Amino acid sequence: MADRADNRDAVLLAPIERTGAGFYWAVGGLALLILWGAAAYSTQFTSGLGVTGLHQPVSWGFYVTNFVFFIGISHAGTLISAILRLSKAEWRRPVTRMAEVITVMVLFIGASQILIDLGRPDRLLNILRYGRYQSPLLWDATSISAYLTASIVYLYIPMIPDIAILRDRLDRRKLLYSVLAMGWRGTARQQTVLNRAIAIMAVLVIPIAVSVHSVVSFVFSMTLQPMWHSTIFGPYFVVGAIFSGIAALIVAMIIFRAAYGLHAYLKPIHFRYLGQLLLVMAALWFYFTFAEYLTGYYGSEPEEMKVFWSKFTGRFWPFFWAMVLTNFLIPVLCLVRLGRRTIGKVLIASLSVIVGMWLERFIIVVPTLSNPRLPFGEGLYWPTWVEWGETAGSFALFALFYLLFTKLFPVISIWEIREGREVGLKEVEERLLTYLPDPAELGPAESSAAEVT
Amino acid sequence: MSRAAEVPERIVRGIQWGMAAGFVCFIGGIIVWIIHLIRTAWRLGDIPSASIGISLVAIPVFLTLLSVGFYVFWGLLTDRSER
Amino acid sequence: MARWGMVIDLDRCTGCQGCVIACKAENNVPAVGAKEAVRGRIISWMQVLTEVEDHDQSGEKMRFVPRPCLQCDDPPCTKVCPVYATYRNPEGIVAQIYARCIGCRFCMAACPYNAKYFNWYRYQKEGPGQNPDVSVRPKGVVEKCTFCHHRLQRARDRALAERRELAPGDYVPACAEVCPARAITFGDLNDPGSEVSRLAHSPRAFRLQEELGTKPKVIYLAEGEGRG
């Protein structure tokens, strides 16, 4: 097998073979945040949701915001991996594995946010026993289960050849790698099976992903509340999800590029392309946001305007305008010219978008609840240490899962990189030739024109 | 790159079959659950149309995932050909 | 089949909040304490809203609007409950099953009248001085006005024991019973002879946020000539 002798990609296996001090520092830091989160949740579990800042009317706050946010980030894997695979974009090769891992890990965190939000998590089985499909929460449960299953399958299948490399090369964890490698030997038939399965999954996972964030949006848009009951929510949330997903992916790529020395694989061109995608999503997100608020403003319905002004000039104006700044202005300024300092600009834009998209979820959830239709006072939501701790712990837990994954499996798909080297160039050249006009009967004018070109 | 600590083939195969069986049970469980929800809606007099509508999409999706999983499992493990 | 409804005459309501107190006493609604009240967690199944109308030449006008659960015939809250913990029973009462509620608070987010309340802590244990007919809610579940449904069960039991039909007036919720201005009328909207039916068709009748299509069964009578 070529991979035994091929040490060109040794750097991709290095994190699995050796562990440096940096890893332990990182785990230590994350563990502290997770401990904070765990302490926060255990307080909440014993005393009740009263330890948060939630009240009537703002009965949904950080937890639901985090839920939407984390599920949104899960769209990273789908877009990059599936769509780029289907469009045969060669630059996807070092990126797909990281994207797929984000999806799987963040779905666990995202789904658990809803569990954390429940007043009676001990009654969780009631969803199984008495679930009502008329409720958008059940649509969520089904859709997220489907997406989680599909993502795990879609992550695992392309990992099989890499696991086989680990099985053959490493001495540690022989049992794990042997089991997971599914008897991979790189035969032609196995390759066909693998490629076919990946192609099917790439097609299947896209509509599932779109459905996931659409049903998350339906949790809000299926109510009658002002600025929630909007038909744009489905596509709006999906666009926002892809937007935040790309940003998260870029940040993950930059972190691991630096930590594991992957500069040879994750080159500025990859970040340039992802940065351009991020720019397009920023414009698209802005378009949806603009359409949403313009419609509300033009109609001037009193209940909607109450919420509208609350966001624009009222209690929530710092968050709203911070959202516009971090979600649109900063990314666009950073990303329009990606010639020099590509990675720095893209990093700033991505971090900005992550903050901005979290703020966007917050701005959707809380102001509407804060301004009830009937003449109650405006709700004043102040999150407590419990909610901050839970948020920090969730981010840290996601980072920890991701980090542990990179210790067990290669974070860049080794066999796909090799495939790119061996067959990619030829395939692309053949494909390009099919785009060019056929050398059919040329008249005298065209043949001289053809000679000129 | 030593092959000293090879894991017995039987154990590996056993765990792999266990994983496959687990996957079948998992997907099967989800499908059973969805059908249970349809029956509950019917029994409690709630409109079952939502359940039926969703199950018409969800169950084929899960079955497709199961088929893909099994296709890979079968295709990789039962391939006795040489490189 | 009965369809229980309520008519509240805003011309008679003095804003005394007797209905609020009676409801709390009748239904074991916990007093959450001053600290929780400041944080916005008062549980008040019946709540008196104060609406201040826009200023005009004659100055501010205030109206008191007692707001129980409006017991909608097309409730937005039951639509979104994931576990059948809130549902509309055949007699039109939107019921709450405390033992099944998982505390997701979706119904709270969906109710356009904010008529649902949550037990953010375990606000009370079972103890003396409570109404034994009404269950004491645990922490983490949603609760709301039930038109004193336990009184309906008692009235039905009594009628059965006395071998007679349920008479109008046998079943009134605590708020209707207590109101000193007799602003709250309660009864069967499906009974064309009942007082509630007659008032529901009054030209002064209106429903809160009628345009949302929730079909609430608490009908208000707008102020009449007296307001000028």
Per-residue pLDDT of A225-249, as tens digits, reads 999 999 999 999 999 999 999 999 9
DSSP letter assigned to residue C220: E
- Reported as a pLDDT band with limits 50, 70 and 90, residue A339 is confident
Helix (H) or strand (E) holding C67: strand C61-67
Q: What is the pLDDT of residue B24?
A: 94
Mean pLDDT of C123-133: 92
Round the CA-based radius of gyration of chain B to a whole number and report it.
19
Mean pLDDT of B54-68: 94
Size of interface A-B (CB pairs under 8 A): 113
Question: Does A189 lie at the interface with C, CB-CB under 8 angstroms?
Answer: no
Instruction: Give ∠ CA A267-A270-A274 in degrees, rounded to 5.
Output: 145
- Chains touching chain B, criterion 3+ CB pairs below 8 Å: A, C
The amino acid occupying position C224 is G
Question: Does A130 lie at the interface with C, CB-CB under 8 angstroms?
Answer: yes
CA distance to partner chain C, nearest, from residue A101 (Å): 29
Exposure b/e, C23-52, CB count within 10 A at least 16 = b: bbebbbbbebeeebeebbbbbbbbbbbeee
For residue B34, the chain A residues in CB contact (below 8 A) are: 142
Q: What is the pLDDT of residue C61?
A: 77
Per-residue pLDDT of A13-23, as tens digits, reads 888 888 889 99
d(CA A124, CA C175): 35
At a CB cut-off of 8 Å and minimum separation 6, what does B9 contact? none
Mutation target to probe the A interface, by most A beta carbons within 10 A, among C77, C118, C143 is C118
Interface residues of chain C, partner chain B, Cβ below 8 Å: 84, 87
Q: What is the CB neighbour count within 10 angstroms for residue A246?
A: 27
Question: Does A137 lie at the interface with C, CB-CB under 8 angstroms?
Answer: yes
C110 and A223: CB-CB below 8 Å?
yes
Nearest CA in chain C to B47: C79
List, as one string, the DSSP characters of A262-313: -TTTS-HHHHHHHHHHHHHHHHHHHHHHHHHHHHHHHHT-HHHHHHHHHHHT
Helix (H) or strand (E) holding B56: helix B49-77
Question: Does B52 lie at the interface with C, CB-CB under 8 angstroms?
Answer: no
Q: What is the pLDDT of residue C75?
A: 95
d(CA A289, CA A280): 14
Question: Does C97 lie at the interface with A, CB-CB under 8 angstroms?
Answer: no
Mean pLDDT of A27-41: 97
Residue C117 reports pLDDT greater than 80? yes
Q: Which residue has the tokens 């099944």?
A: C100
Residue A133 reports pLDDT greater than 70? yes
Per-residue pLDDT of C141-189, as tens digits, reads 999 999 999 999 999 999 999 999 988 889 999 999 999 999 999 999 9
Q: What is the CB neighbour count within 10 angstroms for residue A125?
A: 10
Nearest CA in chain A to B12: A179
d(CA C58, CA C157): 53
B76 and A160: CB-CB below 8 Å?
yes
For residue A171, the chain B residues in CB contact (below 8 A) are: 2, 4-5
Q: What is the pLDDT of residue B83?
A: 52
- Reported as a pLDDT band with limits 50, 70 and 90, residue C228 is very low
Interface residues of chain A, partner chain B, Cβ below 8 Å: 1, 4, 128-134, 138-139, 142, 145-146, 149-150, 153, 157, 160, 168-169, 171, 174-175, 178-179, 182-190, 192-194, 196-197, 200-201, 204, 208
- Picking from A59, A138, A380, the nearest residue to C109 by CB comes out as A59
Mean pLDDT of A119-142: 93
Nearest CA in chain B to C88: B46
Per-residue pLDDT of A302-332, as tens digits, reads 999 999 999 999 999 999 999 999 999 999 9
d(CA A188, CA A165): 17
The amino acid occupying position A231 is T
DSSP letter assigned to residue A377: P
DSSP three-state, residue C142? strand
| Strand C184-188 to C142-143 pairing | unpaired
Helix (H) or strand (E) holding B74: helix B49-77
Q: What is the pLDDT of residue A378?
A: 75
Mean pLDDT of A287-297: 95
DSSP three-state, residue A263? coil
C100 and A126: CB-CB below 8 Å?
yes
Mutation target to probe the C interface, by most C beta carbons within 10 A, among A47, A52, A125, A223 is A223
Q: HSE on the CB side for A351, CA within 13 Å? A: 7
Q: What is the pLDDT of residue B35?
A: 92
Q: What is the pLDDT of residue C58?
A: 66
A136 and C80: CB-CB below 8 Å?
yes
Per-residue pLDDT of C166-179, as tens digits, reads 888 899 999 999 99
Per-residue pLDDT of A71-113, as tens digits, reads 999 998 887 899 999 999 999 999 999 999 999 999 999 999 9
Helices (H) and strands (E) in chain C, counts: 7, 10
d(CA A328, CA A352): 9
The β-bridge partners of C8 are C184, C220
Residue B6 reports pLDDT greater than 80? no
Of C106, C113, C84, nearest to A372 (Cα)? Answer: C113
- Reported as a pLDDT band with limits 50, 70 and 90, residue A147 is very high
Of A40, A444, A14, A7, nearest to A259 (Cα)? Answer: A14
Taking every pair of C-alpha atoms in chain B, what is the biggest distance, in angstroms?
66
Q: What is the pLDDT of residue A379?
A: 77
Question: Does C33 lie at the interface with A, CB-CB under 8 angstroms?
Answer: no
Question: Does C140 lie at the interface with A, CB-CB under 8 angstroms?
Answer: yes
Which CATH topology does C4-227 take?
Answer: Alpha-Beta Plaits (3.30.70)
Helix (H) or strand (E) holding C5: strand C4-9
d(CA C169, CA A314): 49
Cβ atoms of C179 and C18 closer than 8 Å: yes
Round the CA-based radius of gyration of chain A to a whole number and report it.
24
First and final C-alpha spacing in chain C: 41
Per-domain residue ranges of chain C: 4-227
- Reported as a pLDDT band with limits 50, 70 and 90, residue B78 is confident
Helices (H) and strands (E) in chain B, counts: 2, 0
Residue A123 reports pLDDT greater than 70? yes
For residue C84, the chain A residues in CB contact (below 8 A) are: 130, 132
d(CA A151, CA A80): 13
- Reported as a pLDDT band with limits 50, 70 and 90, residue A448 is low
- Chains touching chain C, criterion 3+ CB pairs below 8 Å: A, B
Nearest CA in chain B to A189: B79
Mean pLDDT of B13-23: 92
Q: What is the pLDDT of residue C227?
A: 54
Residue A445 reports pLDDT greater than 90? no
Cβ atoms of A87 and A431 closer than 8 Å: no
DSSP letter assigned to residue C95: E
Mutation target to probe the B interface, by most B beta carbons within 10 A, among A138, A142, A148 is A142
Both tokens of A252, joined, read 């993950």
Query: What's phi and psi for C95, nearest 5 deg?
Result: -95, 165
Residue A1 reports pLDDT greater than 50? no
pTM of the model: 0.93
Q: What is the pLDDT of residue B4?
A: 43
Domain range A25-429, CATH architecture: Up-down Bundle (1.20)
Nearest CA in chain A to C52: A375
Per-residue pLDDT of A375-394, as tens digits, reads 887 778 999 999 999 999 99
A120 and C76: CB-CB below 8 Å?
no
Of B26, B23, B6, B30, nearest to B74 (Cα)? Answer: B23
Per-residue pLDDT of A395-404, as tens digits, reads 999 999 999 9
ipTM over 0.90: yes
Per-residue pLDDT of C54-76, as tens digits, reads 666 666 778 899 999 999 999 99
Question: Does B42 lie at the interface with A, CB-CB under 8 angstroms?
Answer: no
d(CA A405, CA A417): 19
- Average pLDDT score, chain C: 92
Size of interface A-C (CB pairs under 8 A): 137
A197 and B79: CB-CB below 8 Å?
no
- Reported as a pLDDT band with limits 50, 70 and 90, residue B45 is confident
Q: What is the pLDDT of residue A453?
A: 52
Question: Does B19 lie at the interface with C, CB-CB under 8 angstroms?
Answer: no
d(CA C61, CA C53): 5
Question: Does A376 lie at the interface with C, CB-CB under 8 angstroms?
Answer: yes
Residue A426 reports pLDDT greater than 50? yes
Cβ atoms of A384 and A352 closer than 8 Å: no
DSSP three-state, residue B5? coil
